[in-house]
């Protein structure tokens, strides 16, 4: 009988891609992968430590695994495991904790899956996390998350990622292209490029600071890979999103008109406190440039509320900056103190009640922005990639510019591309459409 292993991933697309790589290692060792809701001999939880909520959720997931099989071996890997291994090892039921470099060697640390009285820790000094492990994940059979870069050399005062993942380093261009070709051969229609700071791509490509390729080189090379229908850039810093890259995407064969660009604050005072590497003027210029060459582009924004020192005036500055900017949606993060970050000891702590109020205001603005963007697309002919899940009798999909659409469930549409004309916004906020033709476009 094959041993069974199940995985749970917290956090970002990068974590999902790495979980897939770890899962393939288990398959090579003869394990059978099952869903996390099923009984398994071992449960692996890939942790995140970007938000306080991700930390808290870990204990709930461990309890869920123990409820399914009290005798199962439980391992914690990933960012939280690197930052606070002792804390995770103390959680009842956890047997093994692996940090940033050890997670990819997890099968070396397991023997007979006998449970331990206390979690055993194997974590490196983060300075040792200086080598690159490539990975990709295939989600919902329609898109893949392709890791191209890891780590970060930035020193944003609120962020633990450099402590959890180490220095900025990149996959080789040849290996990225090989992985992209492998994905396309599996019939996957869309690849999403992921990393911690993907605009920094090229740094550390050869295990040192030698810098032969740039992010633009990567984008140009991927655009020429046969068999890829769509390429999407997950998130890129505004100072690293160069006008040349924007111009190339605008005329690209496969890169779609969708950018997600972290802002974090619309106040230059707070951007300085956060040690971000741009001011609001540069951010505004990037958005205007995108709109100039791709009028129908979807532009997403990350923003943090409640950062230390954020007065009501600072918050309103952010609100009005975003309200006036031609963007499509927001990802709103409520600031939470993270140990060993400069921001955690800054003056001007914002009460949680006010943080939550500001978060609610920006989430409301995001709903308004998304609605306005969707309305601007009604009547346009676009291409939809349909996903694989039956959601209450409907199939969902995304246009190239990230408009979410719905149609009565039809399994024949899964993982197919169709030309459609957007017709109206449904009461749930999703968009209805008419098929331009009913032949699958490949």
The predicted model gives 239-267 an average pLDDT of: 97
The predicted model gives 361-371 an average pLDDT of: 97
> At residue 387, what are phi and psi to the nearest 5 degrees?
-95, 175
Task: Decide if pLDDT at 21 tops 70.
Answer: yes
**Segment 137-151, tens digit of pLDDT:** 776 568 899 999 999
Query: For residues 73 and 85, what is the distance between their CA atoms, to the nearest angstrom?
Result: 17
Residue 440 is predicted with a pLDDT of 43
The model's pTM: 0.86
Task: Decide if pLDDT at 206 tops 70.
Answer: no
**Segment 42-88, tens digit of pLDDT:** 999 999 876 667 667 888 999 999 999 999 999 999 888 888 889 89
Residue 120 is predicted with a pLDDT of 87
* CA-based radius of gyration for the chain: 22
Question: In this predicted model, which residue has the larger pLDDT, 207 or 79?
Answer: 79
Task: Decide if pLDDT at 331 tops 90.
Answer: yes
Task: Decide if pLDDT at 389 tops 90.
Answer: no
Residue 355 is predicted with a pLDDT of 97
Burial of 331 per CB tally in 10 Å (0-12, 13-18, 19+): middle
pLDDT tier for residue 118 given thresholds of 50, 70 and 90: confident
**Segment 168-178, tens digit of pLDDT:** 999 999 999 99
The predicted model gives 92-107 an average pLDDT of: 88
Query: For residues 41 and 38, what is the distance between their CA atoms, to the nearest angstrom?
Result: 10
- The answer to whether 243 touches 218, Cβ cutoff 8 Å, is no
Task: Decide if pLDDT at 192 tops 90.
Answer: yes
Q: Which of 308, 319, 321, 301 is nearest to 359 (CA)?
A: 319
Mutual angle of helices 243-251 and 215-222, in 10-degree steps: 10
Q: Which of 38, 18, 6 is nearest to 105 (CA)?
A: 18
The predicted model gives 158-162 an average pLDDT of: 91
The predicted model gives 24-29 an average pLDDT of: 90
- The answer to whether 120 touches 95, Cβ cutoff 8 Å, is yes
Question: In this predicted model, which residue has the larger pLDDT, 125 or 86?
Answer: 86
Task: Decide if pLDDT at 438 tops 80.
Answer: no
Residue 139 is predicted with a pLDDT of 60
The predicted model gives 232-251 an average pLDDT of: 97
The predicted model gives 6-22 an average pLDDT of: 88
Task: Decide if pLDDT at 210 tops 70.
Answer: no
Residue 409 is predicted with a pLDDT of 96
**Segment 292-313, tens digit of pLDDT:** 999 999 999 999 999 999 999 9
What residues does 75 pair with on adjacent strands?
A: 44, 96
């Amino acid at each position: 009988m094959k041993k069974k292993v199940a995985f749970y991933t917290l956090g970002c697309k990068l974590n999902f891609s790495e979980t897939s790589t770890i899962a393939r290692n288990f398959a090579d060792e003869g394990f059978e992968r099952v869903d996390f809701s099923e009984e398994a001999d071992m449960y692996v939880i890939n942790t995140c430590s970007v938000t306080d909520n991700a930390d808290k959720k870990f204990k709930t997931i461990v309890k869920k695994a123990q409820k399914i099989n009290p005798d199962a071996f439980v391992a914690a890997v990933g960012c939280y495991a690197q930052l606070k291994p002792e804390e995770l090892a103390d959680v009842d039921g956890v047997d093994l904790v692996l940090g940033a470099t050890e997670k990819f060697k997890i099968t070396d640390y397991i023997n007979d899956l006998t449970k331990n009285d206390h979690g055993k820790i194997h974590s490196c000094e983060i300075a040792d996390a200086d080598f690159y492990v490539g990975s990709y994940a295939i989600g919902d059979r329609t898109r893949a998350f392709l890791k191209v870069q890891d780590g970060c050399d930035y020193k944003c005062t609120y962020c633990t990622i450099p402590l959890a993942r180490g220095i900025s380093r990149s996959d080789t261009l040849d290996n990225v292209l090989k992985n992209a070709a492998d994905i396309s051969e599996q019939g996957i229609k869309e690849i999403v490029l992921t990393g911690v700071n993907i605009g920094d791509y090229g740094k550390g490509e050869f295990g040192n600071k030698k810098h032969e390729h740039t992010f633009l080189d990567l984008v140009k090379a991927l655009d020429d890979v046969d068999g890829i229908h769509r390429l999407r850039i997950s998130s890129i810093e505004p100072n690293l999103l160069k006008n040349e890259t924007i111009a190339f995407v605008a005329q690209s064969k496969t890169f779609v008109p969708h950018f997600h660009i972290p802002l974090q604050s619309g106040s230059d005072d707070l951007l300085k406190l956060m040690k971000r590497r741009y001011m609001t003027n540069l951010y505004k210029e990037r958005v205007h440039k995108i709109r100039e060459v791709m009028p129908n582009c979807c532009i997403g924004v990350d923003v943090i509320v409640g950062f230390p020192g954020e007065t009501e005036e600072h918050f309103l500055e952010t609100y009005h900056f975003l309200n006036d900017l031609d963007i499509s949606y927001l990802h709103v993060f409520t600031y939470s103190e993270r140990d060993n970050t400069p921001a955690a000891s800054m003056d001007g702590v914002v009460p949680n009640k006010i943080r939550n109020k500001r978060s609610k205001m920006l989430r409301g603005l995001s709903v308004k922005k998304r609605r306005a963007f969707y309305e601007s697309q009604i009547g346009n002919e676009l291409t939809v990639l349909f996903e694989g899940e039956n959601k209450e009798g409907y199939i969902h999909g995304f246009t190239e510019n990230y408009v979410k659409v719905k149609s009565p469930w039809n399994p024949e549409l899964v993982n197919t591309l169709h030309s459609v004309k957007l017709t109206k916004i449904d009461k749930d906020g999703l968009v209805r459409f008419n098929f331009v033709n009913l032949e699958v476009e490949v």
